[in-house]
Chains A and B, each alone.
Chain A
Amino acid sequence: MELTELESSLREQAIRTSLMAGKPKLYYFNGRGRMESVRWLLAAAGIEFVEEFLETREQYEKLLQDGALLFQQVPMVEIDGMKMVQTRAILGYIAAKHNLYGKNLKERALIDMYVEGTRDLMDLIRVHHKFSSEEQEKNLALINERATARYFPVYEKVLKDHGTEFLVGNQLTWADVQLIEAILMVEEKVSTILSKFPLLQDFKTRMCNIPTIKKFLQPGSQRKPPPDESYVVTANRVFNRK
């Protein structure tokens, strides 16, 4: 029996939908913000995901009314039958599920320390666009100082001390993915930030060559650009901020 064009296309759609049902679904703005680390980790793990972008106040209110946001906040990720919120919880779950959280509790503790450090550094950059130009100058100096005097020396030393390719346990973990994300974010603000960190330069090259990460860094991927005016306007509108 021949399928008509319509039947064929409906069947294709059904297959696509059922394949998509297994994919994590990310609810957030069409921009980096707090969700970008989740995109990075899923991408690095080779996990396909879909996104629903918040553009209107009504979308957000519907999520609230549906009880989909445990603390009324995004990011929210539908994954494995759960509506997960809180970025760290989401990242921890993905890392554990995909073997990116170390082999034992001590490795896990190291990973936790390292990701908390990179998180603190990335938080300085995440809010940068919200400041006035005068405050942005100060913040830039702070980012530079923290990166070069507090955070990057630690990771440079870790790589130096055990001479392996990855931060923890000689295999790719969440700590490596978050560090490469942080390095690229800081470089967007201070392009020479790695000039005194030769091992981090090597690390950056290696990480960017990992096939899943290489793919994520190419145009057309789900990686988001740095925040611009329209991102700020959308977020303010959705959250009823002045």
Chain B
Amino acid sequence: MESVRWLLAAAGVEFEEELLETREQYEKLLQDGALMFQQVPMVEIDGMKLVQTRAILNYIAATHNLCGRDLKERALIDMYVEGTTDLMQLILMFPFLSAEDKEKQHALIVQKATNRYFPAYEKVLRDHGQDYLVGNQFSWADIHLFEAILMVEEKKCDVLSEFPQLQMFKARISNMPRIKKFLEPGSQRKPIPDDKYVETVRRVLQMYYNVKASV
């Protein structure tokens, strides 16, 4: 759900949260037919109960002018977002891994970030010399990349050392007023997942007991 929080914050949209803490809350949502595929995230927005993170993010981006000006810009944004999603996916499962698998996963995250994903975005920025990834205006792709950078830095704080364009990009995005506000203590940004979070998720969803490191 964190990408949804980031996008809403970047779009300047206030939102509320119902945080799942008990199995009963989840079962009630299921019984009420509120979860199309029995899964969360779910976002009630504009009279819809949207599920599937990409569908939610797509809708928010499109309704707030963060999707590019035409089909080709949208195509670029979609490609870039899918790339950052793949990178973030490696980090998403991290808290659920055994200590041994965490070590493997950590190495994989850093390797993919520095050899596959960050070089691609570094090149995009270097090639057009503009402030934002697509069409010289702020889009969903930028906020998603920013979030991914922060997540990887939490694993290796100097991961951007060979990426000067991304360092400048990060500084620029951090200084945007809404982003700055979201980065401050007291915002709805969530902290890095801890054991309590893992325990809650497992208890509420009764899943993710046996997650393995990515190959």
Please name all residues of chain A whose beta carbon is closer than 8 Å to the beta carbon of B54 when the two chains form the complex: 88, 112, 116
* Contact string against B for A residues 63-79, beta-carbon threshold 8 Å, 1 for contact and 0 otherwise: 00000001110000000
| A86 lies within 8 A of B38 (CB) | no
| B55 lies within 8 A of A116 (CB) | yes
Residue A85 lies at the interface, judged by CB distance under 8 Å to chain B = yes
Count of chain B residues with a beta carbon within 8 Å of a chain A beta carbon: 27
Chain A residue nearest in CB terms to B77? A89
CB < 8 Å: which of B37, B38, B63, B79 contacts A89? Answer: B79
Chain A residue nearest in CB terms to B215? A241
* Contact string against B for A residues 117-156, beta-carbon threshold 8 Å, 1 for contact and 0 otherwise: 1001000000000000000000000000000001100100
Stretch of B44-52, B150-158, B165-173, B182-190 on the interface side: B44-52
Among A184-242, those with CB < 8 Å from B are none
Knowing A86-B78, A96-B74, A154-B37 touch, does A113 contact B83 (C-beta < 8 A)? Answer: no
* Bound CA span A96–B75, Å: 10
Among A21-69, those with CB < 8 Å from B are none
CB < 8 Å: which of A84, A112, A150 contacts B58? Answer: A112
Please name all residues of chain B whose beta carbon is closer than 8 Å to the beta carbon of A105 when the two chains form the complex: 59, 62-63
Please name all residues of chain A whose beta carbon is closer than 8 Å to the beta carbon of B103 when the two chains form the complex: none
CB < 8 Å: which of B51, B63, B71, B81 contacts A97? Answer: B71
| A112 lies within 8 A of B75 (CB) | no
| A89 lies within 8 A of B82 (CB) | yes
* Shortest beta-carbon distance from B163 to chain A in Å: 16
Among B62, B78, B81, the most chain A Cβ lie within 10 Å of the Cβ of B78
Among B71-129, those with CB < 8 Å from A are 71-72, 74-75, 78-79, 81-83, 86, 116-117, 120
* Bound CA span A109–B43, Å: 12
CB < 8 Å: which of B37, B38, B59, B74 contacts A93? Answer: B74
Residue B36 lies at the interface, judged by CB distance under 8 Å to chain A = yes
| B83 lies within 8 A of A117 (CB) | no
| B74 lies within 8 A of A92 (CB) | yes
Residue positions of A touching B, CB distance < 8 A: 70-72, 80, 82, 84-89, 92-93, 96-97, 105-106, 108-109, 112-113, 116-117, 120, 150-151, 154
